[in-house]
Amino acid sequence: MPAAPSRAVEVTGLAARAARCVGAPEAPAAALARALLALPQEGAGAAPAWRTRSGLNNDGSPIEVCFSSLPDGVRARLVCDPAAHLFDPVARHRAGLAALERALDLTAAQPLAPLCRQTLEALLPADDAGLADYLEGVLWLGAGLGFPGLALYVDLSRGPLPARFERARGWLAGLLPDPSAALAVLARLDGVARLQSAGVEGLAPANARAKLFFRLERPLALADLGIEALAHPRFLEFLATVMGEREIALKGLVFSLSFTVADGRLFEAKVDVCGHCLARPAAAWEDLLAAVAGGAGSTGSTGGASSVGLPVPPAAGLLAEEVAEVAYLGLARNLLGQERLDLFLKPPAPARLAPEPAPAGRFHG
């Protein structure tokens, strides 16, 4: 029998397949995945079974492919946990910083470097001893396949809840010229939500966004959060379509809010639903994606979806061939009323080589 493909081939192969699905070059996609993951060299003393431990996904997988459905087509991007094969948080942090520097070059996003440094300094411990609890990752990197720009996300799930909010407040106050909207959101979330991660996305400060991810601590109507962007009826429609009669745990829902770095405005709200929690076969996912994409698009003053909808994410082949599983499915809506459907895929769980399951993923972009 032929030898099973290495873990590195498996995850970079998923990136290449995703690129093919959207008409982007495959070889650069695989190379980008290797760079973002900071993979160990094949051979040269590397362990024959590349093991990973990552909080990015519920099963420890350190990579996701995201298909983003927009009115003008579908784009693909990667989200990766650098150096997930290193179980020492300090070594992993250093490898992650090196991967960030390389990623800034590869994605033409060097002007974003100061915001990345500011984010890391504000949200992570100041010394190596403080990193001891970051056993499943310190930072995550995101980049598009065939288009420029970078995302940096930092784990904000460590430490006491008050300390997490304090770090987030300091970060937003220092990053945004007018942090009032963001600080008001944090005040609303304090006591009802757990901050999971935070980060910056973009090419340069002029078009960058600061983003907060959180989960609810207890069942709560979105309208009761007091955050108008998340109270829009389209999110309730999306959740009703995706979940149907299913009940899922609170940790299966990840919410996010992004703010424009140029002026501090709340720009976009999003909700992501855990794919593992929904437990659908490939054919059922295909039907659901068609239904959700058909009901999304742009919303008018009445809040109803346009009849045009969005393109269906091109994931049917990947799911049917069992080379990928659904990690999350999300709907984003910005202040212009424009919507985006995000489908996150990860490598199939049976291939994971992590020594133990990780908690439910802490990030969703």
Please give the pLDDT value at position 358.
40
CB contact at 8 A, 77 and 143: yes
Contacts of 357 (CB under 8 A, 6+ apart): 58, 59, 60
**Cα 170 to Cα 217: distance, rounded to the nearest angstrom:** 22
CB contact at 8 A, 335 and 265: yes
**Cα 68 to Cα 314: distance, rounded to the nearest angstrom:** 10
**Cα 208 to chain centroid, rounded:** 16
Please give the pLDDT value at position 348.
87
Number of helices (H), then strands (E), belonging to the chain: the values are 10, 10
- Quote the tokens at residue 42: 């094949």
Please give the pLDDT value at position 46.
44
Handedness of CA 12, 14, 15, 20 (dihedral sign): positive
Please give the pLDDT value at position 91.
96
**Cα 298 to Cα 70: distance, rounded to the nearest angstrom:** 10
Q: Is 235 helix (H, G, I), strand (E, B) or coil?
A: helix
Give the residues of the chain that fall short of pLDDT 50.
1-5, 43-49, 300-307, 351-359
Q: How far is CA 250 from CA 187, 219, 272, 273, in A?
A: 20, 7, 11, 10
Rounded to the nearest 5 percent, the helix, strand and coil shares of the chain are 40, 25, 40
Please give the pLDDT value at position 329.
97
